[in-house]
Amino acid sequence: MIVPVHKSLLEVLREDLNLTGTKHGCELGECGTCTVLVDGLPVLSCLALPVELQGREIKTVEGMAENGHLHPLQQAFAELGAAQCGYCTPGILLTAEALLGDNPAPSRQEVREALAGNLCRCTGYTKILDAVELAALRMQRSGSPA
Amino acid sequence: MKANKLSIIGQSLPKIDAWAKVTGETKFADDMFLPRMAHGKLLRSPHPHALIKRIDTARAAALPGVYAVITGHDLPRVKFGILPVSQDEEALCVEKVRMVGDAVAAVAAVDEETAERAAHLIDVEYELLKPLMSIEESLASPDVRIHEYGDGPNVHKAVSLQFGDVEAALAGSHLVREDVFYFEGNTHLPMEQHSAVAHWGPDDKLTLWSSTQTPHYVHRLLGKILDVPPAHIRVVAAPVGGGFGGKLDPFAHEIAACKLSRLTRRPVKITLTREEVFYVHRGRHPVLMWVKTGFAKDGAITGMHFRSWLDGGAYGSYGVASTFYTGALQTVTYKIPVYKFEGARVFTNKPPCGPKRGHGTPQPRYAMECQIDKAAEQLGLDPADMRRRNLAEPFTKTANHLTVTTIGLGECIDRVVEASGWREKRGKLPPGRGIGIACSSYLTGAGLAIYWNDMPHSGVVVRADRSGLVAVLCGATDIGQGSDSVLAYVVAEVLGIDPKDIRVHPADTDLTPVDLGSYSSRVTLMAGNAAIQAAERLRAKILDAVATKLEVESDTLVMRDRRVFVDGDPDRGMSFAQAVVHAESRFGVLAFPGSYAPPKRVGKYRGGGVGPSPCYSYSACVVEVEVDKETGEVKPLEIWIAHDVGRALNPLLVEGQVEGSVYMGLGEVLMEEQVFRKGVHKFPSMLEYKSPTTLETPEIHTILIETDDPEGPFGAKEAGQGPLLPVIPAVANAVHAAVGVRIDEIPISPDKVVKALELKRQGKPARLGPEKLPLFTFPEPRMIESAFGQPAEAIAERPFAS
């Protein structure tokens, strides 16, 4: 697709592709809310320019579920109450997906470190950490790829 | 319904909107894109205090892509405010700006960039006035007036109430302590920036979608502000991406979007930037406090005199209520036979303060719980035991005429003492480590609406039809706390169906009965009780119809597992959907209302309207910290919190509310500050306004205590605000236990700890905090008899109950 060079990836996703699952919290790269995956790695879409991302794979929260099945992280977040207002949730889910892709059995401290760039004002993070751990456990058991 | 027969209540179920939230499908206000939609921007004042001499919009209006430009002259010249007693705001200021961030003009354009460019082309000529940036400065400058109204020059509100002879009680006390504390302001910092979409339709009726916690109050005030009959206005609450009290006022961007839509005949969206959210504020008041308390030898409180000075910022907002709240709830945790409160809210040229989680009560709770800790030390008492021995009595009245019902605080204290290893750790931890305790209490909904009326505080309609569908219509807004889910749970419980069978619709002033909004921890109790009433009315009709069909008495029937059947004979019955068909055949359309208003037990004195609640939650918290003596950094290691929630309708969601409250309290006590330099916010960004990340948030151990309160739906009390309160003083007390210094000023930032340790090394009093009080004379107190210890009245007696 063709977009003006000055538009951020966040703006293109939300305004041109109607992928409003990606949210914005600051548009300055401070809060992690707009995180998406570029070739599997977390990127702040508010600071990324599409012009630099030609040919790269971009994954948003809309792409997490496969064949109608929620990603184990999505399932665990729903079951354990890890999404309260839900506004930071897409960015946290994708950051966690990247973590589990890299480290399928992270310790709680490793989960904390991976998510340290994503602010959440509702949960106190406890249920989020619990949900990432539960998803990791389930994915290891089922052998599902992250 | 008997507790032991509950099937939904008490279960840790996912929220009904969890699936939309984890897939990114929840549509927040800024996710709305309507055909032909224009984008709006506000032009805001760069000056903290100035007269507006001239505004010229010609250059902006001439920019290609601009649809409309408005100033305050295009709006009705009427001031508004959320409280009827403080009508002091304009959406777009006409004559004067009172803070950096006051809006003076608005633009609608083809896109956000064009709107922003146009806003910068608006020429405004200001005549600068002296900015007043602190309580002291405002009180010392009576010649400079921020507003022309109030209880004195730059004094928004001054109150003085006395319940019994406090001086006499203090004179006869074993120990009297006077302490001074300061609590710096901080802000809500919701992840979602406020956003609104307005559409003035071809029928000349207005629809506003907004990220608001209180669509009803916005609806009510828009009529006045826009001079349009409220009947022609529809406000729809979009899902709110975090509120915490920050989305409880009507805002300039909402009003400007409406007016711009009327002019352009297009939908208009205005979404705030993060910087604007900091200036919109309405957050925690900075409060200076002086508290004088008498103690008996065993730690019992003999009387208390509490003074607070609030830095209100530039406008009234909820400030009159905030002022009273800094003095209202001291009395509901421990026995305080006589009590005196003096409070004053002062205008300054800063963004207005208002209701943040705990509204006006975290500041005095911090002061009081730290003072109790100091008194315990002086009296040689264990601070946990001292609190435990002096708890308020259930089902009595307090000195200031508040009625308390169930009190689970004793069990809360016992449980956190046990879980934390308090007795093994207190005074025995290695140097630099310490453990502290504090307790608190909070409202479960305010006893009065913000405008006087006799109507329900919450209304619910439960509708069923032949498809088996059950729809719940309520004007309450889910701001992430799960209130929609709670409504589904209670209705499912009454009707014996699954929450999944129920659709809870968003607040929509055209379609849903009025609920006052998501504030004061009121929704679960008030909307929950209304939903139970509505569902029970539907249930009665269904049972009546099924009983006739089966030729049995209706009281032999039960509704469970999506069926209606004869108790003990599950085969004699039918599905819920079939039962609804019988009921609809017999009675016609099945739609039943439920109404809730709190028991009428407001104290009979002026000011008695702030503080009453159907019931109060209770919390006890123990925190263990490590303090770095070199850097002054305070690291919370573990937190134990027990919360008396009455009954956990869904333990998972209650835990989430408790954990979120603890986290927010930690941010306030250790790092969060809304502070200004030369009228400008020091750090209006999420990077520099420090808030805890996963790395600063320790493990939180949550213990839920159930007291089955007669006022609550299935016995439930609040959970969303109260658990924030004890965290702050518990940390302060733990810091003292760790390194022997008292930080009587929030936040307890490393520089303050280092300074206090230095004072200690020099052999000076190891305390860091305010040294002096403002020169201010409070009004003569209203003398009211203390109601302490009187029996509670009007338990579970409320309007609309039958």
Q: With an 8 Å Cβ cutoff, are A123 and B242 in contact? A: no
Q: Among A28, A62, A126, whose Cβ lies nearest the Cβ of B700?
A: A126
Does A122 map to a domain?
yes
Does A1 map to a domain?
no
**In chain A, which residues have their Cβ closer than 8 Å to the Cβ of B188?**
121
- Same domain? For B225 and B366 the reply is no
Judged by phi (left if over 0) then psi (alpha if -120 to 50, else beta), residue B192 lies in beta
Domain count for chain A, please give it: 2
- Tell me which residues of chain A, numbers 7 to 46, contact chain B at a CB-CB cutoff of 8 Å: 14-15, 18, 20-28, 30-31, 33
Probe site for chain B from A115, A122, A127 (most B CB atoms < 10 A): A122
Closest among B332, B310, B330 to B321, alpha carbons compared: B310
Does B729 map to a domain?
yes
- Same domain? For A53 and A73 the reply is no
CATH number of the domain that A113 lies in? 1.10.150.120
Domain count for chain B, please give it: 3
Does A41 map to a domain?
yes
Yes or no: say if B398 and B794 are a contact pair by the CB < 8 Å rule: no
- Same domain? For A81 and A104 the reply is yes
- Same domain? For B399 and B469 the reply is no
Give me the pLDDT at residue B223, please. Answer: 95
Q: Among B15, B480, B693, whose Cβ lies nearest the Cβ of A119?
A: B693
Yes or no: say if B544 and B499 are a contact pair by the CB < 8 Å rule: no
Give me the pLDDT at residue B603, please. Answer: 85
B662 CA: distance to closest CA in chain A (Å): 7
- Same domain? For B338 and B267 the reply is no
Yes or no: say if B121 and B59 are a contact pair by the CB < 8 Å rule: yes
- Same domain? For B608 and B719 the reply is yes
- Same domain? For B388 and B525 the reply is no
φ, ψ (nearest 5 deg) of residue B40? -110, 155
Task: Give the domain range for residue B669.
Answer: 287-448+603-784
Alpha helices for B329-481 (secondary structure H): 362-379, 383-389, 409-420, 422-425
Q: How far apart are CA B221 and CA B74, in angstroms?
A: 18
Q: Among A28, A33, A112, whose Cβ lies nearest the Cβ of B191?
A: A33
Give me the pLDDT at residue A131, please. Answer: 98
Q: With an 8 Å Cβ cutoff, are A62 and B23 in contact? A: yes
Does B508 map to a domain?
yes
Q: Does the pLDDT at position B2 exceed 60?
A: no
- Same domain? For A31 and A96 the reply is no
Yes or no: say if B502 and B491 are a contact pair by the CB < 8 Å rule: yes
Sign of CA dihedral B488, B489, B490, B496: positive
Does A4 map to a domain?
no
- Same domain? For A69 and A38 the reply is no
Considering only alpha carbons, which residue of chain A is nearest residue B663?
A124
**In chain A, which residues have their Cβ closer than 8 Å to the Cβ of B243?**
85
- Same domain? For B462 and B529 the reply is yes
- Same domain? For A137 and A81 the reply is yes
Retrieve residue B479's tokens: 């701001």
Mean pLDDT of B228-239: 97
- The pLDDT tens digits of the residues spanning B619-657 come to 999 999 999 999 999 999 999 999 999 999 999 999 999
- The pLDDT tens digits of the residues spanning B367-410 come to 999 999 999 999 999 999 999 999 999 999 999 999 999 999 99
Residue A4 forms contact with B (CB below 8 Å): no
CATH number of the domain that A58 lies in? 3.10.20.30
Q: How far apart are CA A96 and CA A78, in angstroms?
A: 14
Does B40 map to a domain?
yes
Q: With an 8 Å Cβ cutoff, are B659 and A80 in contact? A: no
CATH number of the domain that B41 lies in? 3.90.1170.50
Does A44 map to a domain?
yes
Q: Which amino acid is at B237?
A: A
**In chain B, which residues have their Cβ closer than 8 Å to the Cβ of A113?**
694-695
- Same domain? For A56 and A69 the reply is no
Give me the pLDDT at residue B3, please. Answer: 43
Q: With an 8 Å Cβ cutoff, are B656 and A84 in contact? A: yes
CB-based contacts of B164, cutoff 8 Å, min separation 6? B303, B337, B338, B339, B399, B785, B786, B788
Q: How confident is the model at residue B1 (pLDDT cuts 50, 70, 90)?
A: very low
- The pLDDT tens digits of the residues spanning B418-459 come to 999 999 999 999 999 999 999 999 999 999 999 989 999 999
Give me the pLDDT at residue B137, please. Answer: 97
Sign of CA dihedral B690, B691, B694, B697: positive
- Same domain? For B382 and B517 the reply is no
Q: How confident is the model at residue B602 (pLDDT cuts 50, 70, 90)?
A: confident
Give me the pLDDT at residue B630, please. Answer: 97
**In chain B, which residues have their Cβ closer than 8 Å to the Cβ of A122?**
191, 242, 480, 656, 660
- Same domain? For A68 and A34 the reply is no
Q: How far apart are CA B438 and CA B730, in angstroms?
A: 5
- Same domain? For A95 and A35 the reply is no
Does A135 map to a domain?
yes
Q: How far apart are CA B332 and CA B336, in angstroms?
A: 8
Does B168 map to a domain?
no
- Tell me what the pLDDT averaged over chain B comes to: 97
Does A25 map to a domain?
yes
- Same domain? For B214 and B352 the reply is no
Q: Among A60, A79, A121, whose Cβ lies nearest the Cβ of B191?
A: A121
- Same domain? For A131 and A74 the reply is yes
Last-in-domain residue among A43, A62, A81: A62
Yes or no: say if A27 and A46 are a contact pair by the CB < 8 Å rule: yes
Mean pLDDT of B718-726: 98
Probe site for chain A from B13, B22, B37, B489 (most A CB atoms < 10 A): B22
- The pLDDT tens digits of the residues spanning A105-125 come to 999 999 999 999 999 999 999
Last-in-domain residue among B596, B615, B649: B596
Does B307 map to a domain?
yes
Considering only alpha carbons, which residue of chain B is nearest residue A7?
B113
Does B590 map to a domain?
yes
CATH number of the domain that B640 lies in? 3.30.365.10
Task: Give the domain range for residue A86.
Answer: 64-142
Q: Determine how β-strand B103-109 pairs with β-strand B38-44.
A: antiparallel
- Same domain? For A110 and A138 the reply is yes
HEC string of B32-86? CCCCCCEEEEEEECCCCCEEEEEEECHHHHHCCCEEEEEEHHHCCCCCECCCCCC
- Tell me which residues of chain A, numbers 100 to 119, contact chain B at a CB-CB cutoff of 8 Å: 111-113, 115-119
Place of tokens 């039809």: B465
Does B186 map to a domain?
no
Last-in-domain residue among A24, A40, A62: A62
- Same domain? For A35 and A57 the reply is yes
pTM (predicted TM-score)? 0.97
- B785: enclosing H helix or E strand: none
Does B442 map to a domain?
yes
DSSP string, B734-766: HHHHHHS-EE-EES--HHHHHHHHHHHHTTS--
Q: How confident is the model at residue B83 (pLDDT cuts 50, 70, 90)?
A: very high
- The pLDDT tens digits of the residues spanning B334-375 come to 999 999 999 999 999 999 999 999 999 999 999 999 999 999
Q: With an 8 Å Cβ cutoff, are A121 and B653 in contact? A: no
Q: Does the pLDDT at position B31 exceed 80?
A: yes
Radius of gyration of chain A (CA): 15
A122 CA: distance to closest CA in chain B (Å): 5
Q: How far apart are CA B76 and CA B110, in angstroms?
A: 26
**In chain A, which residues have their Cβ closer than 8 Å to the Cβ of B277?**
none
Yes or no: say if B312 and B352 are a contact pair by the CB < 8 Å rule: yes
Yes or no: say if B348 and B49 are a contact pair by the CB < 8 Å rule: no
Q: Among B14, B480, B691, whose Cβ lies nearest the Cβ of A86?
A: B480
Give me the pLDDT at residue A1, please. Answer: 83
Among the residue ranges A89-98, B180-189, B602-611, the one predicted with the least confidence is B602-611
- Same domain? For B614 and B514 the reply is no
Give me the pLDDT at residue A145, please. Answer: 54
Q: To the nearest whole percent, how much of chain B has pLDDT over 90? A: 98
Probe site for chain B from A31, A97, A121 (most B CB atoms < 10 A): A121
Q: Among A81, A115, A119, whose Cβ lies nearest the Cβ of B191?
A: A119
- B640: enclosing H helix or E strand: strand B634-646
- Same domain? For A105 and A42 the reply is no
Does A2 map to a domain?
no
Please list the residues that pair with B123 across neighbouring strands: B56
Last-in-domain residue among A24, A41, A62: A62
